[in-house]
Amino acid sequence: MTPSARIAAAIAVLADIEARRRPAADALKDWGLSHRFAGSGDRAAIAGLVYDALRRKASAAHLLGATTSRAVVLGMLRLDRGLDLAALEKLFDGGRFAPDPLTADERAAVSAATDGGAIGDAPAHVAGDYPEWLDLPLARVFGDDRVTEGRALAHRAPLDLRINTLAASKETGRDANAPRDKDALRDKVLAELSHLKPQPTRWSPVGLRVAIGADAKSPPVHAEPAFIKGQIEVQDEGSQVAALLAAARPGEQVIDLCAGGGGKTLALAASMENKGQLYATDLDKRRLAPIHARLERAGVRDVQVRTPRPDIDVLDDLSGRADLVVVDAPCTGTGTWRRNPDAKWRMRPGSLSERLAQQKTVLDRAAGLVRPGGRIVYVTCSLLADENTDQIQAFLGRHPGFVPVPPEKTVSVLGDKAPAFLDSVLTFPEGLLMTPRRTGTDGFFVAVLRREG
Ligand SMILES: C[S@@+](CC[C@H](N)C(=O)[O-])C[C@H]1O[C@@H](n2cnc3c(N)ncnc32)[C@H](O)[C@@H]1O
């Protein structure tokens, strides 16, 4: 397909998303099924256009003074990809598979935008590309910075990988993860993945980052020998750091209460160097199911999966015994808008209240599992105070035996990176917040709560 035809296809897919209020992934899949001639490169490019347009939906529509899919794609190409009038006229040339030529109004609008994507006097939620109803909640956390925070959330996310240090002992046969074995593994993985040009991540000592171009597909990491051998996992650096901040130590009794597919469980198991006991559970057994294969592949030996059962508390025997309970809570996911731009516009106030109730339930359950002197680590991938600091304040009100550990202490596990990390995050008495703008990661809130002995 020509670049123009790909743009026309992206406009059609966006129109379908809007008209039928359906998820972008479904609309893209249907488009692929009804256009079987399109190759994988075409599909990736069209998906890239659709997701980038969703990322910049409000500012692009504002630039063009219209909310049609055509306006949003055109605005995105100008604001996000920096195409000037001449380049856009070449693409919108009215050819057989191309979008219609630009109108006089469209030409004027795209010419008015400055390079770098500024759009003048737009209100904060438009310039920051987020739903208007979230302006007040975001202003509460970020103040005037909410526009730049929103802009950073409207960029494409890189692909982050976590090196599984447990694979080092699998390779060497030695039980302990000696630092030299870990270094050797990292060098080996870097060499094996050199075609992806990975770079070490800024904060996580076990992270690698792969940049993804505008029209490029995410590389098929699952087919890499390093992945098959359990040496790498796909995990955003923010999620890696959240797991590191939990500071699970070898020999501890740790519960991962919202384990889902096991992303954090695997990282916690690596911190524990396969020593101690990690219990993984989730409310939803379907979400938990993939964890078994992932644990196997990663060479994790110290995890017991406790699959939920109706009318039975599968953690009953652990009451008041855990050194650490990790609550990777269900949340609105506002910190992951870079990866899910579709979710940004689909989010409704009702889903926030639902998540708040779930967070309260799961935090209260965690409180009953921690031993005196033990800790709860509460994590969300949300930016909203209601789900983060407010939720923790309310918890502390209900459970006066817990105290928050100050972020200055929590970050010490990052070693020599701790001071710069602390300067980058937003800190609160209850915890800390990473954001794409501040830490280059997805948005993650982390609170550590110690049960007094
Ligand atoms: C953010 S996801 C977990 C992601 C996972 N930890 C990972 O790193 O891949 C939140 C999880 O909480 C689970 N959940 C919701 N309410 C729960 C509850 N009351 N108890 C336990 N898990 C719950 C959901 O099913 C969902 O899998």
Q: Which residues contact 17 (CB under 8 A, 6 or more apart)?
A: 23, 24, 27, 50, 342
Nearest CA to ligand 1 atom 26: 260
pLDDT at 213: 79
**Structural domain includes residue 440:** yes
Residues 57, 196 within the same domain: no
Residue ending a domain, choose from 187, 213, 234: 234
Here the CATH number for the domain that contains residue 303 is 3.40.50.150
**Structural domain includes residue 132:** no
Eight-state DSSP code of residue 175: S
Ligand 1: centre distance to CA 229 (Å): 27
Q: Which of 408, 412, 405, 409 is nearest to 449 (CA)?
A: 405
Residues 322, 215 within the same domain: no
**Structural domain includes residue 144:** no
What is the arithmetic mean of pLDDT over 373-387? Answer: 98
Nearest CA to ligand 1 atom 17: 283
Whether 404 contacts 428, CB under 8 Å: no
Residues 380, 243 within the same domain: yes
The pLDDT tens digits of the residues spanning 260-299 come to: 999 999 999 999 999 999 999 999 999 999 999 999 999 9
Residues 269, 297 within the same domain: yes
**pLDDT at residue 182 tops 70:** yes
Is the beta carbon of 408 within 6 A of some atom in ligand 1? no
**Structural domain includes residue 152:** no
The pLDDT tens digits of the residues spanning 83-134 come to: 999 999 999 999 999 999 999 999 999 998 875 555 668 999 999 999 999 9
pLDDT at 112: 87
Phi-psi region of 260 (alpha: psi -120 to 50; beta: other; left: phi over 0): left
The boundaries of the domain holding residue 45 are 3-114
What is the arithmetic mean of pLDDT over 333-353? Answer: 94
**Structural domain includes residue 36:** yes
Distance of CA 442 to the CA centre of its chain: 5
Residue in the structure block whose two tokens are 């959330």 = 153
Binding residue numbers for S-adenosyl-L-methionine: 282, 328
pLDDT at 447: 98
Identify the bridge partners of residue 433 per DSSP, sorted by sequence position. Answer: 426, 445
Q: Which residues contact 29 (CB under 8 A, 6 or more apart)?
A: none
* Residue 339 CB neighbours (<10 A): 16
Ligand 1: centre distance to CA 258 (Å): 4
Ligand 1: centre distance to CA 100 (Å): 47
Q: Which atom of ligand 1 is nearest to the CA of 308?
A: 21
Residue ending a domain, choose from 114, 139, 168: 114
Residues 278, 332 within the same domain: yes
Residues 72, 215 within the same domain: no
What is the arithmetic mean of pLDDT over 319-336? Answer: 98
Using DSSP bridges, classify how beta strands 303-305 and 253-256 pair: parallel, antiparallel or unpaired: unpaired
Is the beta carbon of 307 within 6 A of some atom in ligand 1? no
**Structural domain includes residue 177:** yes
What is the arithmetic mean of pLDDT over 44-49? Answer: 94
Residues 200, 263 within the same domain: no
Helix or strand or coil: residue 377? strand
Question: Exposed, middle or buried: residue 283 (CB in 10 Å: 0-12, 13-18, 19+)?
Answer: middle
Ligand 1: centre distance to CA 381 (Å): 12
Burial 118-139 (b: 16+ CB within 10 A, else e): ebeebebbbbbbbbeebbebbe
Residues 256, 194 within the same domain: no
Is the beta carbon of 330 within 6 A of some atom in ligand 1? yes
- Letter for the amino acid at 320? G
Residues 383, 439 within the same domain: yes
Residues 330, 360 within the same domain: yes
Q: What average pLDDT does the structure give for the chain?
A: 94
Residues 356, 369 within the same domain: yes
Active-site annotation, residues: 381
Q: CA 54 to CA 80: how far, in whole Å?
A: 11
**pLDDT at residue 150 tops 60:** yes
Residues 223, 347 within the same domain: no
Q: Which of 316, 328, 318, 402 is nearest to 362 (CA)?
A: 328
Residue ending a domain, choose from 51, 86, 114: 114
The pLDDT tens digits of the residues spanning 346-378 come to: 999 999 999 999 999 999 999 999 999 999 999
pLDDT at 132: 97
Residue in the structure block whose two tokens are 């199911």 = 289
pLDDT at 347: 93
